[in-house]
Amino acid sequence: MDNFAILFGGVSYEHEISIVSAITLKDVIKEDKIFIFCDANREFYLVDKEDMKASFFSKREYKKGEKLTLKQGGFYKKSLLKERRVEFATLINLIHGKEGEDGTISSLLDFFEVKYIGPRVEGSVISYNKEFTKLYAKSRDIEVLDYQILQKGCDRKLIFDYPVIIKPLRLGSSIGLSVARDEKEFEYALDVAYEFDNSVIIEPFFENIKEYNLAGVKSKDGYIFSFIEEPLKESILDFDKKYLDFSRSEGANRANIDQNLQKIMQKTFVSLYEGLFEGAIVRCDFFLKDDKLYLNEINPVPGSLANYLFNDFNSVIKAILLPKKRDIPIDYRYINSINAAKCK
């Protein structure tokens, strides 16, 4: 059975982006699939494929549908006399941002033993926090740009020369991102970023820096890589451009790079993926400056699962190697031994 359940929505600033991603995958994934929506109250609803339209959610029409409960082994809906499990082989975590990418959903799915495609807890935690991502990359000898972390309500002293780029520490889709070219713009940019997070990350901003995106996944036959994208942009990819990007099912700009750089990027991807992101389709975003490759971000639940970067995405989604569940026996052997020693 190759049918999928696509879980989307969630409580984050990227809630609507998740809906757009799910609507896009409706036609991209050819296998049988069902849709499970998590609303702003963290209630789960079963959504018919025919209802996968933006207005269905903006008008709250999903509330008329069947409500689901997450329990051991999957999602359940009430029938006439008892609860019945919703049948699917594998769930796809398509909740972007907080809860979907910070480890919350992964924890729930692991706890209730639901088979799923998506980042596990450790990968989520590392990639959701941009400082953790940089520290992780450094631990694997991968270059990152210099950075500075500031906390809301603390010193606002900048250690870099202008221009700089300011981002919320734990947020994606370029939400709250700004470029500051002087002190006035910097103060305003901090206030914007602090609307979304109490911590911000600041980096030097380089005009016309080369950017490349590479998606991939580990399968039983080895790694499957997408082609490498060079995003079409002006000075930065702002939220509006990325929001439109998530609805893509085709049309990415293939990078014109030599094979040596491509191999370096793929090798770097494997170093980041191996041992941390098994079971997930990941997109790594890179900078190229002065012929040196830098990691920008790791996206463990990329928009529309980066389907537009693969030539045959349907084959990719079916080939993902999911981590094996480790069975831990609970047999009370030690407690019984202690009790026997105490003659109890």
Confirm whether 4-117 and 148-204 share one CATH topology: no
Mean pLDDT over 238-256 rounds to 64
Question: What is the model's pLDDT at position 245?
Answer: 55
Lowest mean pLDDT: which of 15-24, 161-170, 329-338?
Answer: 329-338
Kindly report the backbone phi and psi dihedral angles of residue 52, in degrees, each rounded to the nearest multiple of 5, phi listed first.
-75, 75
Residue 130 CB: number of other CB atoms within 10 A? 25
Number of Cβ within a 10 Å radius of residue 169: 20
Structural tokens at position 58: 């903006």
* Backbone φ/ψ region at 206: left (φ over 0), alpha (ψ -120 to 50), beta: beta
Q: Mean pLDDT over residues 155-178, rounded?
A: 90
Residue 308: pLDDT over 90: yes
pLDDT greater than 70 at residue 242: no
The reply to whether CATH 3.30.1490.20 applies to domain 148-204 is: yes
Average confidence (pLDDT) over 240-253: 59
How does the average pLDDT of the chain come out, rounded?
A: 91
Which residues partner with 8 through β-bridges? 37
Which residue, 30, 35, 102, 92, is CA-closest to 281?
92
The predicted pLDDT at position 324 comes to 87
DSSP 8-state assignment for residue 44:
E
pLDDT in tens, 272-289: 999 999 999 999 999 999
- Strands 116-117 and 148-151: what pairing? unpaired
Quick one: pLDDT band at residue 232, thresholds 50, 70, 90?
confident
**Max Cα–Cα distance, the chain, nearest Å:** 77
Return the minimum-mean-pLDDT range out of 83-97, 133-147, 151-165, 230-244: 230-244
Assess whether pLDDT exceeds 60 at residue 240: no
Query: What pLDDT shows up at residue 328?
Result: 86
In tens, the pLDDT along 34-49 reads: 999 999 999 999 999 9
Separation CA 179–CA 95 (nearest Å): 27
Q: Scanning the structure block, which residue is given the tokens 């309500």?
A: 153
* Phi-psi map region of 313: left, alpha, beta (phi>0 left; psi -120 to 50 alpha): alpha
Contacts of residues 228-234 at CB distance under 8 Å and 24 or more positions apart, as own/partner, are: 228/254, 228/255, 228/257, 228/262, 228/265, 229/253, 229/254, 229/255, 229/309, 230/254, 230/255, 230/256, 230/257
- The arithmetic mean of pLDDT across residues 3-19, rounded, is 95
Class of domain 4-117: alpha beta
User: Rounded to 5 degrees, what are φ and ψ at 190?
Assistant: -65, -45
Q: How many CB atoms lie within 10 A of CB 260?
A: 8
Q: Is the pLDDT of residue 156 over 90?
A: no
State the CATH architecture for 125-130+208-319: 2-Layer Sandwich (3.30)
Q: What's the CA gap between 166 and 187, in Å, rounded?
A: 10
What percent of the chain lies above the pLDDT cut of 90?
A: 81
| Mean pLDDT of all residues in 321-329 | 88
Asked if residue 201 has pLDDT above 50, the reply is: yes
Q: Which residue has the higher pLDDT, 252 or 320?
A: 320
Q: Phi then psi for 22, rounded to 5 degrees?
A: -65, -40
Query: Is the model's pTM score more than 0.85?
Result: yes
Distance CA 136, CA 128 (A): 12
**What is each CA distance from 18 to 39, 166, 243, in whole angstroms?**
11, 24, 10
Is residue 338 pLDDT above 80, yes or no? no
- Helix H or strand E segment including 187: helix 183-194
- The whole-number pLDDT of residue 239 equals 47
By CB atoms closer than 10 A (0-12, 13-18, 19+), residue 41 is exposed
pLDDT at site 174: 78
Q: Which sequence spans correspond to the domains of the chain?
A: 4-117, 125-130+208-319, 148-204
